[in-house]
Chains A and B, each alone.
Chain A
Amino acid sequence: MPVTSAENTFSAYRSSRFHFLERLKSGWLVYRENLLGRIGLVLLACFACMAAGSFIPPLIDPIYHPMSGVDPLISYSTGPSLRHWLGTDFIGRDIFSQLLTGARIAFIVGVSSAFMSIVVGTIVGMVAGYAGGTTDTILMRAADVVMVMPTLLVILILAALFGQLSIWIIVLLIALFRWPAVARVIRSQTLSLKRRPFVDAARVTGASCFRIIFRHIMPNVLPLALLYMTFRVTSAILIEAALAFLGFGDPGTVSWGMMLQWVWKTGHMFQAPYWLLPPGICISLITLSFYMVGRAMDEVLDPRLRKEKALE
């Protein structure tokens, strides 16, 4: 019985899907062998739970609203208690609720700005690598220009000039300044890929540049881009925290950097460790967890980094 073209397409789709699942499964097997990766994942899961749980306290009682909720009985900073597990800040707001909300903001800032920078960096890198010539030169020089700009300083200047920036503007600015490194790596990968036989095959069958880049090259550079995303998340969280700590964060958002700024500016730095330490520890741990995950993913993607198993 002759095989129809629809059946052909379906079987190709199914085989590619299985191939993807196979790769994911084999990748996970390598990942789970990595202790750093496991610790990073557990930590990330904890922070994800915190972020998801940040909506709960205000539902229990409005006094747990991280920004405007104040305990009517407490009007100053107090230590941990049953009512306030991590204590209260200087106007009687619950520090634990703020910490949970801070986790949500860290994820929003980290993941969205990293995602944006990865999208921009991947597209620029692929186009530059595939097109070559003048396009490559222009895009890479643009990347060089952006790369040498000190991100934090430029955002600080912008904040000083245009007033306080909203959290989404901060996310956008971080993404705008963090794509060049990704673009450079993706470009070098694309340069290697575009000389492979499957790209030549696609070209001789009449595939357009757009199709070659996004259908044939992109799936091969995507794992690398995702790996870089984990590192971008770390830097985005740190930049946002630094901005907020220096007083240039979004004042309408309760982030960990903002919590640190409040404890500093209100004169509680040396007398309220229950207020100072949690956001500081959380910033350190979340960046560490993304770094650990990144390191483990590095091992998954690059077999040269894997440890050789002892022969039995």
Chain B
Amino acid sequence: MINRQGEHHLPVPQWAVLGFCLLLAFTIASCRQFDASDYLRIGLIAEPKTLHVWLASDRNSRKILSLIYQPLYTRDPVTLEQVPWLAADKPVYDPENISYTIKLRPARWSDGSEVTSDDVAFTGQLIKSFKIPRRYSRWKFIKKIATPDKRTVVFYLKSPQAIFTTRTLTTPIVPRKQWQPIAEAARKKEKPLAALLNHPIYHPLGCGPFVLKEWRQGTYLHLRKNPYFFGSHTKIAGRVLGPYINDLLFKIYGTSDVAILALKKGTIDMFWWPLQPGYIKDLSKDPHIQLFINQKSALYFMGFNLRRPPFNDVKLRQALATIIDKKFITHRILQGQGVPMYSIVPAENRFWCCDTVARYGDGLSRENRIKKAYKILTGAGYTWDVPPVDSDGNVGPARGLRLPDGNLMDRFTILTPPADYDPLRAMSGMMIQQWFRAMGMPAYARPMAFGALLNKIKTEHDFDTFILGYGNLSLDPDYVRVFFYSKNDKPRGWNMSGYHNSDFDKIARASRSAMIPTERQKLIYRMQELVIAAVPYLPLYKPSVIEAVRNERFTGWVNMLEGIGNIWSFCEVKPVTAD
């Protein structure tokens, strides 16, 4: 074609065809199937929020990071005893100097450089100097960290601390070479901690079994086997570790239903999220799906605000504790996949759990619960417009509970997480509301967005009662001290109920420095008895962890407290074809 200027040009349709072909080629190239045939494909319920080890507080970030950064010690999956992990042996305690000496295994970071005692010391100094949230309380009692050689690290403590081995030594270790420049830059900023926590980490350098290969936000996260992993072909806790799989591919699914459909279809090999009991029946019909049900180290409880009336009355709290039918909750709402809790420490933690605490209303029928609660309340001066128990001892719906001062009880709320976050807690709140109403109490269950709920309870202390849960509770029972220590009753403090008891505080302080386990056990028992008698928290239940995997491609999942998604599993899972 010749234009007005007499220049030769390709006709327009040819340009269009060429452009279209290029566009088509580009589209096809970018849409090609990701070849993940030999990958272990794992479904997550939500995307990790960060790969910053000090910032990560959500479960999915922690899952990924637990495969990259490693601690000195971890728990044996069977005995739950602490076993050396990055450390070569058990810590050696020197009571004279109040010091612990730890030897490290020969280990390398994922870039091939050596893991040294200097990295361990640096991690401790970093946590202490920046007062990193959630970590600092476990390190602040350390006076000095010495590194006599590159495989030996000595921790000098200000005073004996029972939690040092269980809590401090399970902190993930980070490499100095990656974190020192970040820390130095952060120190120069006006807000060093914020600068440290806001520093983006795109390629975390760890010494764990896997290393980050690629993270396409919103699509997938790909981890590759770390060739320098210290545990490879090594026997730890009687297990020869791998990893025996080269790649992990994490896919993000917004809801359990979609993830379970993907699991049934074979799009993923494992769904790393606890399932609702309702899925069990359906999944157990599929021969290619294997279900794992494990115990959880958790505490799901009802908390009362002791700072405001009428919940500052221990008799009222005891009566409320009597009305609540924990077995109904575990049997029906949890569908038998959980157990009632009576103490703050889960019963599976046999050494620390005190089983002599008061068991309000345990074993009683609904009518007898109401009668017992009625007796407690009338004894404390409470009256009703229409009492729940009439003069003949018959139980009926009550109306108008009046406080000992004669005033009608004001309506109060039971704050719970919303049903889309945890349907079981939301439903438990609903049933508890009905039980309280049967006693003439104007109770209203109020599910609330989790962030707003925590803000109301932990920061503003603006609540009557609430239902919350702690998952992944440490096996060390120091949390009993933390949850109820008077000084922790402050905005954002752990003592959310506002429990104050000088006797408890005294015992709690003693428990922290008790180095002989049996002595500490007595103190922890006493603390549990005091707490359950005062009922700032009423332990409700502990759900089981139900998980599902496909069994035709990979095998070797390791059952453990908290489920099969643990470091041992990822070091032992093998393709089915390879023996």
Contact = CB atoms under 8 A, between A and B. Distances in A.
Partners in one complex: yes
B222 to A, nearest CB: 29
B335 A90 contact: yes
B82 interface: no
A268 B419 CA distance: 15
B55 interface: no
Interface residues of B, number: 36
Given A247-B420, A248-B418, A267-B275, 13 more contacts: A90-B278, A90-B332, A91-B333, A159-B449, A161-B449, A163-B415, A251-B445, A252-B444, A264-B257, A266-B276, A266-B278, A266-B423, A267-B278
A68 interface: yes
Given A163-B447, A164-B447, A252-B444, A265 B276 contact: yes
Interface of B: 256-257, 260, 275-279, 281-282, 331-333, 335-336, 415, 418-421, 423, 426-427, 429-431, 433-434, 444-449, 452-453
B164 to A, nearest CB: 41
A252 B427 contact: no
B415 A67 contact: no
A265 B423 CA distance: 6
Given A163-B452, A251-B419, A75 B332 contact: yes
Contacts of B448: 163-164
Q: What is the interface of chain A mostly: helix, strand, loop, or mixed?
A: loop
Nearest to B280: A267
Q: Name which of B419, B421, B449 has the most chain A CB atoms within 10 A of its CB.
A: B419
A247 B419 CA distance: 6
B172 to A, nearest CB: 33
A108 B487 CA distance: 50
Contacts of A70: 332
B461 to A, nearest CB: 16
A70 B328 CA distance: 10
A261 B278 CA distance: 13
Contacts of A67: 430, 434
Interface in A75-93: 75-77, 90-92
7 contacts: A68-B434, A161-B449, A164-B447, A251-B430, A252-B430, A267-B257, A267-B260
A209 to B, nearest CB: 44
A267 B444 contact: no
B331 A75 contact: yes
A291 interface: no
Interface string A233-268: 000000000000011100110000000011011111
Contacts of B423: 262, 265-266
Contacts of A75: 331-332, 335-336
A160 B453 CA distance: 10
Nearest to B331: A75
Interface in A60-110: 67-68, 70, 75-77, 90-92
A269 interface: yes
A46 to B, nearest CB: 29
A111 B331 CA distance: 39
Contacts of A246: 420
A97 to B, nearest CB: 15
A268 B282 CA distance: 9
Contact of A251 (B257, B333, B336, B446): B446
B332 A261 contact: no
A210 interface: no
A252 B444 CA distance: 8
Nearest to B444: A252
Contacts of B426: 247, 251
A265 B320 CA distance: 28
Interface string A151-175: 0000000011111100000000000
Given A160-B452, A251-B426, A266-B276, A68 B431 contact: yes
